[in-house]
A and B are shown apart, each in its own frame.
Chain A
Amino acid sequence: MERKILLNNIAVPGIRTFEVFRSTGGYLSVEKALKEMTPDEVVEEVKMSGLRGRGGAGFPAGMKWSFIDKKSGNPRYLICNADESEPGTFKDRYLMEKIPHLLIEGMICSCYALGANTGYIYVRGEYKYIIGILNEALRETYAAGFLGTNILGTGYNLDIIVHSGAGAYICGEETALIESLEGKRGNPRIKPPFPAVVGLYGCPTVVNNVETLANIGYIVNNGGNEYAQYGVGKSTGTKLISACGNINHPGVYEIEFGLTVREFLFDEKYCGGIKDGRKLKAVIAGGSSVPILPGELILKTAAGEERLMTYESLAEGGFVSGTMLGSGGFIVFDEDACIVRNTWNLARFYHHESCGQCSPCREGTGWMESVLHRIENGQGRSKDIDLLVSIASKIEGNTICPLGDAAAWPIASAIRHFRHEFEEHIQNPEQCSLHRMEEFENLKI
C-alpha cells in the first residue's frame, strides 16, 4: 500500500524544471498519445482506468469526457480547475508548486483526447506565486516543442493559458469557474445544459481537477488496466490526501486507495498520530463540506469494520454514520477542539462565500451563521438546535449549485454526532475551555 503514481519523483532535485522532469520519463505520454494513439483511444484508456474526478464529486473522468459534444462544430475547451479553495485541501497547490510539468503533461494528453486546441488553467488568485511557477513551466514546454503549433510534427496545435481568480470559493464550482473565466461574477449556471454541451464561450467544455489531470500521463503511458491495478474496487489509483489539524505531521501524502484510516492517521509515515499525545475527537475526511465524524466512526464503520481510505468505505453508512472522501482534505480534531466553535466557523465561511444568486443559500447560510453565533456566544436557546437542523434540511438539495449542500452538511452532521456539545453550550457556555482562554477575549465575535 505504498505504491505511488504522482509523487514518485517529487524528491528529485530540480524536478520543477522541464529538463529534470523530462529526464525522469516526463512527456513520454505526450509522444505516445500524439504519435501512436487516436483521441478516442486515449479516452478509452481513461475510461478503463476507472479514474474518478479528484476535485470532490468523484465522477468517473472518462465518462465525463465522453459526454463532450463533438458534433457542434464549435471549438472544444479543457479547463483545469486549480481554484482549490475547499478548507482543509491544499494538495493541488503542492502538486503545482513541486512538479508543475506533471499537470501540463496530463493536460496536453487530455486536450488531445478531447480535441481541444486551447486549455485553461484557472488558478485561485491567492496562489499568485503558483501562477508564476506554471507560466515558467509552460514557457519551457513551449520552447521544447510540446506546446504551440504542430506539436512534435504531428500537426496538433495546443495553447495552454493560465488564468487567475480573485478570491471566491464558489469559482471551484465548474460553471461558476466558467463564468469567472469569461470575466463575470462567479455565479454558477443553471443546469442543464451542462458544460460538456454549453460551456466556456458557449462551446463544449470539460472541467477537470489538477490531480485528475496529473494522472492522465501515467494512464497513457501504462494503459488504463495497469492504472486500475492500484487501489481497491471502484476506487482505483492513488489519492493525494492533504492532512491538517491537530496531528503530528500535517502535509500532503499520496496514498494508494485501500489504506486503513487508522494507519493513515497514526502511522509515522503519514499523520503520525494526534499532537501532544492528546486523544482523537473527530475528523472531517474530505474537505470542510463533508460530514464530520467522531473518532470512533472514522476508524470503524457502524458495522464494526475497519474504515478504509476509499470512496466507498468512507461513505459506508450513508450520512447517518458515514461521510465522503470529497477532495481528500483530512482535518483532524483533538479532544480539546470545540465542535460548536468549529461549526460556527465553517458556517461563517459558507455564508461569506455564498454567491447570493439563489434564495435558500443566500438567506439560509447567513441565518445558520447567526444562530450558531448565538449559541457560541452563550445566548443560545434549546430550540435553536432543531432550528439549525430545519434550516439546513431546507437548503440541502434546493440550491442551484452544491454550495448549499456544502453549507448544510457540516452543520447537520455536527449536530447529528455532537448534539450534546451544542446542548452544553446552550446550558453552560462557560464550560467550553475556549471560552476561558484570555486570548479569545479580543475575538469575542
Chain B
Amino acid sequence: MLKVTIDNHTIEVEEGTTILQAARMIGGAVVPPAMCYYSKLKDSGGKCRTCLVKVAQGSARDPRPMPKLVASCRTPVADGMVVQNMTSPEVIDTRKAIVEFLLINHPLDCPVCDQAGECDLQNLSYANGREESRFEEAKRSFKVVDIGDKIQLHMNRCILCYRCVYAANQLTDNRSHGILYRGDVSEISTYIQTDITNDFSGNMIDVCPVGALTDKTFRFKNRVWFLNPMNASRSCSKCSGKVTAWLRGEEIYRVTGRKDQFGEVEEFICNECRFDKKEKSDWTIESPRNIKRASVISQNHYLQAKKPSVILPLENRTVSLEEFEKENTNEKQS
C-alpha cells in the first residue's frame, strides 16, 4: 500500500492508483474536477488539464517536488507523495486559466442548451471561472448535425474531451465517428453522411461533459431542474435495465444512465431503454435519486445559485471564496 497526502488528508491506496482516484476516495473538496477523464473509459484523461495539481513531494524516497503541475487523472501515486489541490494558489490560478481556455470557443448558449443545469463545464466555470471573458474574437462555429436519428451534435459546444470516441471504441463495434482535423478546428464527426446506429451509441450522450451530444428525444422538452430523477428499472436483454428516469408529474421525459457523485454512469445502458421506453408503465420506479448538491439542478432554480463560489460536494454546502480561503489559511496555520 502507498501512502499519499492530498490537501492535508492522508490515505493509503493500492499501487497503480492515480492521484485523482486517491482524491476521490478521500472525497470532498480535495477532488480535482475532471472534464475528460472517465474511470470507465480506458485511456481517457490527461487532455483537458482541469485536474492539474501540484506535487509538492514526489515520494518519500525522492522528496523533490515535481517541476510542473501534473494531470492528477493520469499520474500514479508514489509512496509518501504529497499533493496540493485546493491548498495551492498556483493550482487554483491555473485552473481558472484552463476554464478560460475551455470557454473561449464555447458558446454562451446555456439558455437554449439542454445540458444546462447538469453541465460539467457550467459547474466548473461557476466554481473556478472568471466573471468576464478577455476573449474578443469571433468564436469558431460549426453547423449542428444529426448523427443518427436520436443524437444531435452541437460541435460548437464540444470541448474535445474524446470521451465519446473512447465510448464508441470500447462499447460498440466498428466505430464510425472520430476526431477529424487538428488544432482548434478539430471536430467530432463521421466525415461522411452516415448514421450511428449501434445499440449502445446513446451512452455518448451520457459521457459528454457538455451539451455537444444531446438526446433528440428530449430536445427542448423540459429543463432538467424541473424534472425529478428517479431510480427505475426494467428487465432488458441488452443491458442491466437500471436507469434514471426523469419525471415531471406522471410523465417520463427522458431516460439516462445512473450517474454517481463524480458524474459518471454506474452502468452503460442500451438505446432501447434510453430512447424507446418513455411510458411510466415500462418501468418499475424504485426511489428518488440523490443528486449532486453542486449541480444547478439541486438549486432548483438559477436565481438561488450563488456566484462566485467554491463548491464543496462532500459536505453538501456552498461557501464563498473568502470563507474558503479563510478556512484554508487557518488550517495551514494550525
Question: In the complex, how many angstroms separate the beta carbon of A396 from the nearest chain B beta carbon?
Answer: 9
B159 at the interface (CB under 8 A from A): yes
Q: How far is the CB of B329 from chain A (nearest CB, A)?
A: 25
Say if the beta carbon of B45 comes within 8 Å of chain A.
Answer: yes
A365-387: which have CB < 8 Å to B?
365-367, 370, 387
The verdict on B285 contacting chain A, using a C-beta distance below 8 Å, is no
User: Is B61's CB within 8 Å of the partner chain A?
Assistant: no
Tell me if A55 is interfacial: C-beta within 8 Å of chain B.
no
Given the contacts A359-B49, A359-B98, A397 and B68 also touching, CB distance less than 8 Å: yes
Determine the chain B residues whose CB is within 8 A of the CB of A370 once the complex forms. Answer: 137
In the complex, chain B residues whose CB is within 8 Å of the CB of A357: 47, 160, 162
Q: Mark B42-57, 1 if CB is under 8 A from A, else 0.
A: 0001111110100000
A400 at the interface (CB under 8 A from B): yes
B69 at the interface (CB under 8 A from A): yes
Q: Which A residues from 321 to 367 make CB contacts under 8 A with B? A: 351-360, 362-367
Cα distance A357–B43 when bound, in Å? 13
**A59 → B minimal CB distance (Å):** 14
Q: Which residues of B contact A366 (CB under 8 A)?
A: 183-184
Chain B residues whose CB sits within 8 angstroms of the CB of A12 once the complex forms: none
Instruction: State which of B2-10, B101-109, B168-176 sits at the interface with chain A.
Output: B101-109
Tell me if B226 is interfacial: C-beta within 8 Å of chain A. no
Q: Would B101 and A364 count as touching, CB distance under 8 A?
A: yes
**Is the pair A358, B182 in contact by a Cβ cutoff of 8 Å?**
no
Instruction: Across the interface, name the chain B residue whose C-beta is closest to A355.
Output: B182
Q: Which A residues are CB-close (under 8 A) to B74?
A: 190
**Which of chain A's residues has its CB closest to B101's CB?**
A363
Answer yes or no: B179 CB below 8 A from chain A CBs: yes
Say yes or no: B160 contacts A362, CB within 8 Å.
yes
Taking CB atoms and an 8 Å cut-off, the chain A residues in 14-45 that contact chain B are: none
Contact among B45, B137, B186 for A190, CB-based, below 8 A? B45
Within 8 Å of chain B (Cβ to Cβ): is A192?
yes
A394 to B160: give the CA distance in the assembly, Å: 19
Interface size class of B (residues with CB under 8 A): 20 to 34
Partner of B49, one of A168, A355, A360: A360
For A404, the closest partner residue in chain B by CB is B49
Is A9 close to B, CB under 8 A? no
Q: In the complex, what residues of B have CB within 8 A of residue A360's CB?
A: 49, 97-98, 101
Residues of B within 8 A of A364 (CB): 101
Tell me the bound Cα distance from A358 to B50 in angstroms.
10
| Contact call A363/B184, Cβ cutoff below 8 A | yes
A354 pairs with B184, CB closer than 8 A: yes
B183–A400 contact, CB under 8 A? no
A387 to B136, CA, bound (A): 12
Whole-angstrom distance between the alpha carbons of A201 and B21 in the complex? 27
CB of B71 within 8 A of CB of A190, answer yes
Instruction: Enumerate chain B residues within 8 angstroms of A356, measured Cβ to Cβ.
Output: 160, 179, 181-186
Q: Which residue of A lies closest to B135 (CB)?
A: A367
Contact across chains for A363 and B134 when beta carbons are under 8 A apart = no
Contact residues in A for B76 (Cβ distance below 8 Å): 192
Smallest CB-CB separation from B99: which chain A residue?
A359
Q: Which of B49, B75, B134 interacts with A358 by CB under 8 Å?
A: B49
In the complex the two chains form, what is the Cα distance from A185 to B184 in whole Å? 15
Give chain B residues whose Cβ lies under 8 Å from the Cβ of A190.
45-46, 71, 74
Q: From A383, which residue of chain B is reached at the shortest CB distance?
A: B134
* With contact pairs A367-B104, A367-B135 given, residues A351 and B45 touching in the complex (Cβ less than 8 Å): no
Chain A nearest CB, measured from B148 CB (Å): 24
Check B104 against A363 for contact (C-beta < 8 Å).
Answer: yes
Q: Which residues of A contact B160 (CB under 8 A)?
A: 356-357, 359, 362
- Is residue A398 contacting chain B, with contact meaning CB distance below 8 A? yes
CB atoms of B134 and A398 under 8 A apart = no
Residues of A within 8 A of B105 (CB): 363
Task: Chain A residues near B104: list those with CB within 8 A.
Answer: 363, 367
B183 touches A398 (CB 8 A): no
- Residues of B within 8 Å of A398, CB to CB, are 49, 52, 68-69, 94, 97-98
In the bound assembly, the distance between CA atoms of A357 and B47 in angstroms comes to 6
List of A residues within 8 angstroms of B182 by Cβ: 168, 185, 354-356
CA distance A352 to B186 in the complex (A): 11
The 9 residue pairs across chains A and B that have the minimum distance between CB atoms: A394-B97, A190-B46, A356-B186, A363-B101, A354-B183, A356-B183, A366-B184, A370-B137, A397-B68
Name 20 A/B residue pairs within 8 A (Cβ), A-sorted. Answer: A185-B182, A190-B74, A354-B183, A356-B160, A356-B179, A356-B182, A356-B183, A358-B47, A358-B49, A359-B47, A359-B102, A360-B101, A362-B101, A362-B183, A362-B184, A363-B102, A365-B184, A367-B104, A397-B68, A399-B49
